[in-house]
Structure 1
Amino acid sequence: MTTDFSAGSIPVTYREVYAICSHNDEPIHKDVYQKLLAQCKLSSDVLKVIWNLVGPVEGTVTRTNLYKTLALVAWAQHGKKPSNKLFETFSGKEYPIPQLGDLSPVKNLKIYHSLQKNPAVLGLSYLDITQLDTINVELAPEKKGIFLKHSEYIVTSQRCNSKVTRRYNDFVALYELLLSRFPYRIIPRLPPKRIVSDAHFLESRRRGLHRWLTLISRHPAICYDGLLMFFLTDQGTDVQYRIRDIFRRAPDEFMTSDHAANAKDYLPKDCSEFASNREQVRSLVHIIGKMKLLADSDVERGLACAKDTEVLSHQFKALGTINIGQISSTKWPIMQKGFTDISRDLNSLWNKTEQHATLEQITVCERLDLLLDVLVGHRDLCERLEKGLAQDHQTALAKMLSLKKRKIQGVIRGADPDTVEQLETKMLMQENVITNMELRSDFSIYCVHMETQLVHAYLETLSSILSSLISLRMRSHTELANIWKQAIPTAERYLSVDQNIQKSNGSS
């Protein structure tokens, strides 16, 4: 087919779909292409015709053939039979736009294949990561237990198209199982539990659970795992018990990964970068943590200022209505009208101040919290490996040395051959243990290498966080200044009253 796709004839939608399907402008994987066709809601016979006309060649689809596919799908959705002749007879300005529905499954499959292509390179931007899933966690209406109140959360997942109810202990069960299933991955800390809690604590914990589950659901190595899928979709009760019963014997990632046996091949030649990266992350934890504290303090000051302005507004309103008896001066009623006007201006002022502080909490503080959760998770991962795997490796080596020493001593002393043979059997078993430990060690370092790349992807958010902060501050100062400007005429009327009094006193 020699269809000419000139720039003017290609709808913007075509380019957007190509960006969704293609990784780094590379040809589209046939599985991704097939997933795209599945979203078109056409019969299998029609899809087969389109596949045969412009489908994959050697397992991939070019940009041009994708554009042709979209045009054929659009025509088929309007009742036309897909064929090359449709392109030959087309005379419109722009090719038709198909109805494709939700393309999230297509995005996720593209990301999955991009990860499989080069196991040593994450190859995902922060935007790619956000497309893996969108999670929402909201507090459910409070229920009372027999003795204590407990909080429940409504958890929704865009990727799973699910909505479930979970308790805090369900999150704890998932957290513990994830640490067992993915011991060499970033598993952020859960927000704390408290027996006696108030509304402020519950909201803070809700935000923490939302961040935590968002990070887990967008983790490239975890997001497709059955454990997480169960948590996001199961509609049963007593989830914390059933999820443990089902997944407590699940092997860890090392036992199931295709990359475990040859993880060493994916490691950088210069392994000193791991120590360097670890120190860099520790420094980032300190810096971002400090920024987060400052941002939180700024929001708290904004909310406190809003509260003070609200109180001040009420006081001016009270002055505008108070009856202080007969006054010879005729200026008090005029002043009272001014107090009422100022009260309204201050009311607008505290509303705006509170809105800006709340918006800064969401767009700056929460995103800094998310980044900090990732960084702390990476730091915790490195500490787990140092305390756990490295220590286990040293213990295994020490045991092997002990067995060798006992064998040598037994041979020297002329020990029973059966005893020596038993020692040799134990040594062989211990060698297998050490070999397994070395493979596991290589795999753990490989995972840390990938997790460091994940941290780097999340660091991309710093630029947008800073941009949001600047934009919010500019908007806040402008809107608040405009409100103060609106109050100037009223304030001048008060000043004119005071000035008249001063002039009167001066002339007397």
Structure 2
Amino acid sequence: IWNSVIKTNSLSSRNDFYKCLALMALAQQGKIVDEKLLDNYINRELPIPTLDNLTELEDRLIRVLRSDQGKTTFCFRYGDLCSLDTIQVEVAPDKKVDKEFIEERRRSLKRYLQILCRHPVICETEIIKFFLTFQGTSCGDNMKATFKNSLDEFSCEPPTSSTSIDRIERHEEDSTGIRMFHISETHISFLHQQFSQIRTYLKNINERNFKTADEYWAIEKSLQLISTDPTRVERWATGPNDYWPTIQTGLTELPIEINAVAERINEECKREDEVINDHLDMLIELFQGYKDLCKRFEEALQVEQRAIQKATHQNRRSLTTSDSSTKNDLSSIEKRNNHALKCIQIETQLIYANLEAFVYILSSLGNIQYKVSSDLLDIWKSFSNKTSELGQTYINKTSLQKANAPGIKK
């Protein structure tokens, strides 16, 4: 019916659509599909096709969606598309900001500000001074409005001189700068490796100390169970030795000391973990960022050197012409190279400026160990005195007290 009436891929008019419906009605009546049969219905209403139950058709009807970008095809049945209207999607719960999240953000901001304030160049910029001295709300919006027209460092640099003498001097300075860069890169890479190993060792020690604290807490629980055990031992088992009831009574004070030991060790681990996360990790992340920066700089340097060679070769070929585009390209490349070398020098200075944090890390770890060791010394002294008193208590007992020792059945 479609091919006989439409003869194309789409309907061109409403009359063609009605012709298709009329031919469908004639086909349902058992007549041959022929457009000439419609001539008998001039000035008459066209036949109307009958439609059965659409349930079966709805189940079989498939809608195909193709994605040319993903090279995928999705097939949906009509019933599946209808069921989408009945799907209820729950409203997403409100985002909860707990104390740990706020504390982590605060510590991250603190580390970021430390990096900026230790930067040899950025620390003196107006935008940093504005941020540190701003009082009020919407600091970001005010900062954006104040400095939106400020130029970056590359745009503020003066144009390079194109004389041959100046180029020779710049070439010597760049060569010296690149040589010093490679020396600094090697040294910082060595520091990065050693500091990473120190962090690994400290984290391993901290993990073992956390386990040690847990084990002391387990010892505390065991001592509590022993000291509160209600079992009355028979004289048959102890014989003339009534030492156990005295020990059991004295053990009630020892779990307090063991708990204090576990608390001090756990406190030490938390403080050391904070020092590692806030300072040593920041320092190592700076090393890693500098390593990535050096890799990009060396790749860009190779590209720029090839571009300089190409521009220089073209400049030699165009000496007899008045075309200045090649000279401008060469000056632009040299300016980018010079600026990139200055940036890498500043970032190298940033690394060495932050090395003072390593002294703070060592000092903090030393102070933590000293404080905790002093506390543990006092705790273990108290523990030792109590255990000594425990044995002395039994020795000082009279024969009658030993015979009437609690916890032993006679």
Equivalent residue runs for 1:74-153 within 5 Å: 147=93, 149=95, 151=97
Q: CA RMSD in A?
A: 4.6
Tell me the equivalent position of 1:256.
156
Q: Aligned partner of 2:348: which letter?
A: T
In structure 1, distance between residues paired with 2:283 and 2:136: 31
- Whether the 8 Å CA contact 2:283–2:354 is kept in 1: the answer is yes
Tell me the equivalent position of 1:223.
123
- Whether the 8 Å CA contact 1:292–1:365 is kept in 2: the answer is no
Tell me the equivalent position of 2:76.
none
Tell me the equivalent position of 1:8.
none
Higher relative contact order (CA 8 A, sep 6+): 2
In structure 2, distance between residues paired with 1:152 and 1:435: 55
Give 1:146 shift. Answer: 5.2
Cα 1:296–1:391 shift into 2, 3 Å: same
Q: Aligned partner of 2:153: which letter?
A: E
Partner of residue 249 from structure 2, selected from 322, 337, 340? 337
For structure 1, the residue ranges without an aligned partner over 5 or more in a row are 1-144, 154-198, 412-420, 500-508
Give 1:292 shift. Answer: 1.5
Cα 1:331–1:321 shift into 2, 3 Å: same
Tell me the equivalent position of 2:335.
439
Give 1:445 shift. Answer: 1.9
Tell me the equivalent position of 1:165.
none
Tell me the equivalent position of 1:391.
303
* Deviations 1:327-380, CA, capped at 9 Å, x for gaps: 556655533333321101011111211222233334566432333233333323
Cα 1:274–1:359 shift into 2, 3 Å: same
Aligned residues: 293
In structure 1, distance between residues paired with 2:129 and 2:269: 36
Q: How does the TM-score come out when normalised to structure 2?
A: 0.56
Tell me the equivalent position of 1:90.
none
* Deviations 1:276-295, CA, capped at 9 Å, x for gaps: 11111111111111112212
Give 1:488 shift. Answer: 1.6
SS of corresponding position for 2:258? helix
In structure 1, distance between residues paired with 2:160 and 2:378: 62
Cα 1:223–1:146 shift into 2, 3 Å: farther
Q: How does the TM-score come out when normalised to structure 1?
A: 0.46
Give 1:299 shift. Answer: 2.2
Partner of residue 291 from structure 1, selected from 188, 198, 201? 198
Tell me the equivalent position of 2:216.
309
- Whether the 8 Å CA contact 1:264–1:446 is kept in 2: the answer is no
Give 1:298 shift. Answer: 1.9
Cα 1:247–1:433 shift into 2, 3 Å: farther
SS of corresponding position for 2:122? coil
Cα 1:401–1:266 shift into 2, 3 Å: closer
- Whether the 8 Å CA contact 1:310–1:346 is kept in 2: the answer is yes
In structure 1, distance between residues paired with 2:160 and 2:251: 74
Q: Aligned partner of 1:312: which letter?
A: I
Tell me the equivalent position of 1:323.
230
Tell me the equivalent position of 2:352.
456
In structure 2, distance between residues paired with 1:443 and 1:395: 16
- Whether the 8 Å CA contact 2:272–2:365 is kept in 1: the answer is yes
* Deviations 1:375-396, CA, capped at 9 Å, x for gaps: 3333233223223355245346
SS of corresponding position for 1:149? coil
- Whether the 8 Å CA contact 2:118–2:353 is kept in 1: the answer is no
Partner of residue 373 from structure 1, selected from 285, 292, 296? 285
In structure 2, distance between residues paired with 1:381 and 1:346: 51
Tell me the equivalent position of 1:347.
259
Higher helix share: 2
For structure 2, the residue ranges without an aligned partner over 5 or more in a row are 1-90, 396-410
Tell me the equivalent position of 1:359.
271
Tell me the equivalent position of 2:52.
none
Cα 1:397–1:235 shift into 2, 3 Å: farther
In structure 1, distance between residues paired with 2:333 and 2:191: 31
Tell me the equivalent position of 2:378.
482
In structure 1, distance between residues paired with 2:159 and 2:388: 75
Q: Aligned partner of 1:439: which letter?
A: K
Cα 1:465–1:237 shift into 2, 3 Å: closer
Cα 1:300–1:485 shift into 2, 3 Å: same
- Whether the 8 Å CA contact 1:302–1:354 is kept in 2: the answer is yes
